[in-house]
Amino acid sequence: MHDWQYSERARNLTSSAIREILKVTERPDVISFAGGLPSPATFPVAQMRAAADRVLTESPQAALQYSATEGFAPLREWVAKRYSRDGLTLAPENVLITTGSQQGLDLIGKIFIDEGSRVLVEAPSYLGALQSFSLFAPKYVPVPTDDHGLLPEALTSALVAGARFLYAMPNFQNPTGRRLPMARREALAAIAKRDGLAIIEDDPYGELDYEGQRLPSLMSLAPEHVLYMGSFSKVLAPGLRLGFIIGPKAVIAKLVQAKQAADLHTPSLTQRIAYEVVKDGFLDTHIPSIRMLYAAQAQAMLASLKKHMPTDATWTTPAGGMFIWLTLPAGIDTMQLLEKAIAQNVAFVPGAPFYVGTPQSNTLRLSFVTVPPEKIEIGVARLGALIADALTRRAA
């Protein structure tokens, strides 16, 4: 057998903790709160089928051919128009279509991070971003958070100095479900302008506000300092693998160069299908139905947590998105708890992998959108019993 000589980068690769857990949750008897997967009930299958038929009838050659790295021009124009709000005016040249927002993270890492570059991230932060950026060997600097998200006052001039960017998820953050209040958004924008801080604003969940009360983006508050990342995965379907980056034209141009080397362009067919679905305002009626479903799922889980969790456990109460974050008493290791939970056919994601500094091993993430309410109660009851047992053993 040939002795393949991997690069140092490849030798340092690790598998996503979530992806490894998902292998276990494929068993039909497992109640999984682990994956951050949108509910298949929200996928607009009929609209997709009709759109695909139109595309392959009216422009089949173009849909199946190579196309521009920047993306399908009408879709870029649609994105620019939709996000021209809160005083912000965008052009298609401000938009790059990516093959999922995960590719956006990879491209951002490629153009900004050198080995040892300082990158600021929330504590905890999105695991997929950490996994992507880690390929480029940055020096992570965790930024403290509380029940309302990132703490702007922690971003002193000394902390910010020399950082390539701050990666933040202001809306219904993965993993905590927290949303950054307006005052903190304004404070972050002021810091970006004061210290020249670049901000990567990752916003896959912003449309999933249960009350439909959208807050202005960081991009609209400091457009020259912010790259905004969006996705069609949570509002249409993740199988399309469609995301986008909005930012200053010069930065978009550099990202285009990186994307040319990565995959030439995002698939023409899926871009055109998505555009056919969204171009006439479909999302304005579709997204509210997703919000209603997820709000009901969230309430079912919150009610089950209140009923079945020991009084020593605390959790977030999200106003949108797909996640609830549990904090257990110190000394409870949720990695060990997961093994026992899987034996009881319940799965979740332990909190430790979401931290770049000292992990809080007594935390865990629950996703509620793909589990029916009756199964949510069963799963939470099992999990609550396991936590109560762990607390009893710790006290003994």
Predicted confidence at residue 10, as pLDDT, reads 85
| Residue 17 confidence (pLDDT) | 62
Mean pLDDT within 283-306: 97
**SS3 labels along 280-298:** CCHHHHHHHHHHHHHHHHH
Q: Which fold has domain 46-280?
A: Aspartate Aminotransferase; domain 2 (3.40.640)
pLDDT of residue 13: 78
Q: Residue 104 — pLDDT band, cuts 50, 70, 90?
A: very high
Q: How far from 2 is each of 5, 8, 9, 10, 13, CA to CA, in Å?
A: 9, 18, 20, 17, 21
CA–CA distance, 195 with 248 (Å, rounded to integer):
18
Residue with tokens 């992806």: 19
- Distance in angstroms between the alpha carbons of the first and the last residue of the chain: 53
94, β-bridge pairs? none
More confident site: 245 or 393: 245
Residue 71: predicted pLDDT: 98
Q: What is the pLDDT of residues 337-386, one digit of tens each?
A: 998 999 999 999 999 999 998 899 999 999 999 999 999 999 999 999 99
pLDDT for position 396: 64
pLDDT tens-digit map of 138-147: 999 999 999 9
pLDDT of residue 393: 80
43-48 contacts at long range (C-beta below 8 A, 24 or more positions apart): 43/236, 43/237, 44/236, 44/237, 44/277, 44/282, 44/286, 47/277, 47/282, 48/236, 48/237, 48/273, 48/277
What is the rounded average pLDDT for all residues in the chain?
A: 94
The pLDDT, as a whole number, for residue 261 is 96
- Domain 9-38+284-393 fold is Aspartate Aminotransferase, domain 1 (3.90.1150)
Sketch the domain layout of the chain as residue ranges. Answer: 9-38+284-393, 46-280
Band the pLDDT of 117: cuts 50, 70, 90: very high
Contact between 232 and 43 (Cβ < 8 Å): no
Could you tell me whether strands 349-350 and 363-367 are parallel, antiparallel, or unpaired per DSSP bridges?
antiparallel
The residue behind tokens 């309410």 is 373
